[in-house]
Amino acid sequence: MKHKTSSFLELLNSFVTEYLPDAVGASPNTIKSYKAAFRLLLKYMYQEKEISADQISFDILGYQTITDFLSWLEKSRGCSATTKNQRLSALASFSSYAQNRDFAAASIFRSSIVKIPMKKAMHRKRAIFTREEVTMLLKLPDDYYEVGLRDKVLLSLMYASGARAQEVCDLTVKDIHFSEKNASLNITGKGRKKRKIGISYACASLVKGYIEHRKIAPCPERHLFSSQTHEKMTVSCIEEIFKKYIWIAKQKNPGLFLDDRYTPHSMRHSTASHMLEAGVPLVVIKNFMGHSSLQSTQIYAEISQNTVDKHLKEWNERWFTMPSYALHSTVRDSKIPDFLN
């Protein structure tokens, strides 16, 4: 039993501290999510099964135990189907890792995991800003004040680059290269994949002026954005900034910003959607956004299609609506049953 216990904990330790950050190149948020999944598993085993962490072995993590754990997440913790699937994904990733390193011990655990399907989650509509809403949002921060200036540059750069919140947090002075007409950013994305993208002259000028204002141009390792307490801004800080300005925007414009939940990722979605509507090819958007596959980018084609359909519907209704007498005549002459009209 001692060998099995140490095998589980030792492999779990190497999985989250070495394999995920070094071999996989997982983002800090992904690692944080995986750790949370296993903390919950250990909590469940202790509270419901009276088995402490140092007593857990692979052979007790069978199908029934795992399914009971997932049910506990849903019923006792109130987890949504999406969150429950995230926890299962973390277990599945670890089970594959463990089986490759100790097949005899982890095979039961792995075979149990692969039998459990992901629960169908309700697809949540992505919140996207219209171009009018983006324009209004970027005008809200008061750049007379230090925090307002930072927020204006932050929001502008997020829209111009389509970067993820974590990618913006990670930007340093050396990652930004200015030319006469624009600027380029060296962005480190998910899986530590690097990409180079260009931003417009207007946004580049804002960023350059902000760097000069902060007097950090001679300091290549300094982060572009800082919070009031840390040299490097955090994702949670960006989330609070968004929450603040979305609230102000809704108060000032009751007829706009109608979605219930906007997040920093809404700006990224908006950038991609607006690029597509402007005629930028999907493959270009894929590289710009740092997607691993074109399938990830395809979602914006579906989002944009909704906009296209809306405009086409308005156009058709305006110019091609048939007179009522013509409609009645067509129906009568063709003898189509009423229930089909």
Angle value at C-alpha 117, between 113 and 121, nearest 5 degrees: 130
pLDDT recorded at residue 200: 87
pLDDT recorded at residue 145: 92
**Could you tell me the two tokens for 147?**
């925090």
DSSP notation for 65-93:
HHHHHHHHHHHTS---HHHHHHHHHHHHH
Give yes or no for a contact between 301 and 280, defined as CB atoms under 8 angstroms apart.
no
Strands 194-199, 183-188: pairing is antiparallel
> Angle formed by the axes of helices 131-139 and 264-277, to 10°?
130
Name the residue among 255, 260, 226 with its Cα closest to residue 243. 260
Residue 113 CB partners (closer than 8 Å, separation 6+): 66, 88, 91, 92, 95
pLDDT recorded at residue 238: 93
**Tens-binned pLDDT, residue by residue, of the chain (341 aa):** 344 445 888 899 999 999 988 888 887 878 888 999 999 999 999 999 999 888 898 989 999 999 999 999 988 888 888 888 889 999 999 999 999 988 888 888 999 999 988 877 555 667 888 889 999 999 999 988 999 999 999 999 999 999 999 999 999 999 999 988 888 899 888 777 888 988 888 899 999 999 999 999 999 999 999 988 899 999 999 999 999 999 999 998 888 888 888 889 899 988 888 888 888 888 888 888 888 777 767 776 666 555 555 555 655 565 555 444 444 444 444 445 454 44
Strands 183-188, 176-178: pairing is antiparallel
pLDDT recorded at residue 102: 87
Side-chain half-sphere exposure of 7, counting CA atoms within 13 A: 21
Q: How many CB atoms lie within 10 A of CB 42?
A: 15
Residue ranges and CATH numbers for the domains of the chain are 2-114 (1.10.150), 132-262 (1.10.443.10)
Size (the chain), residues? 341
Q: Strand, helix or coil at 189?
A: coil
**Could you tell me the two tokens for 308?**
């296209």
Residue 40 CB partners (closer than 8 Å, separation 6+): 69, 73, 77, 87
Residues 80, 74: Cα–Cα separation, whole Å:
7
* pTM (global) more than 0.85: no
pLDDT recorded at residue 324: 46
Q: Is the dihedral of CA 23, 29, 32, 37 positive or negative?
A: negative
pLDDT recorded at residue 319: 57
Task: Give how far Cα 335 sits from Cα of 321, 323, 328, Å.
Answer: 21, 19, 11
pLDDT recorded at residue 122: 57
Determine phi and psi for 222, rounding to 5 degrees: -70, 145
